[in-house]
Copies of this chain bind each other. A is one copy, B any other.
């Protein structure tokens, strides 16, 4: 069961109002970071009093964690749409890569908040999470790699821990690249404008590299 961080009262207000509060909070947390975010600004922009806000969330921490949960739901939605059921392992990874890219482009602010959550300054918050994106994705990777080994798509002695770690490192940085100006500029320095304008070029190139990573590689020593 999903752990929730809001008070029961939050569920009794109209959907539209809940949405307004979330949007105000997302914008404020994304642009100023958790520590710089002002809870009064959030209440103001949502058009409610600070007293009301504390009726729905007991603390700034809880409001922040509620937004993280909401992000999981949005991500679930994008991944469900991607339909990862068919094809071989690489088809699945390609769909996941495209979903990660799409998710970051659709919801840059939510992704900015995730990035903030991973910083050391917010470790008091991240340790309160009942699950992280990683706990979900690592299971997915293990399953598809095990399948690919059975089908002979990848070498049987492939280190699935390292392979899924490297794979996720690549996917995550692609996702971050659409998330902050710093990382977007970094991607531009590496890839140039042509790739930035055409996200499909990035998918094709990155998949080529990943396919190689799952093979034995050049001068493999084992």
Binding site for B on A (CB under 8 A): 30-36, 90, 108, 112, 115-123, 126-127, 132, 134-135, 138, 153-154, 159, 161-166, 168-170, 172-174, 176, 179-183, 185-187, 189-192, 195, 202, 205-206, 208-222
Contacts and interface: CB of A to CB of B under 8 A. Distances in A.
A109 to B, nearest CB: 8
Given A115-B119, A116-B121, 11 more contacts: A33-B122, A115-B120, A120-B180, A126-B182, A132-B182, A153-B218, A161-B191, A166-B209, A168-B173, A169-B174, A214-B217
Given A112-B121, A127-B181, A208 B222 contact: yes
Nearest to A89: B218
A104 to B, nearest CB: 12
The complex is assembled from copies of this chain, and their number is 2
A173 B205 CA distance: 19
A203 to B, nearest CB: 10
Contact of A35 (B35, B162, B218): B35
A124 to B, nearest CB: 9
Contacts of A120: 30-31, 108, 112, 115, 179-182
A222 B205 CA distance: 10
Contacts of A112: 119-121
Given A36-B36, A218-B211, A31 B162 contact: no
A146 to B, nearest CB: 15
A176 B183 CA distance: 14
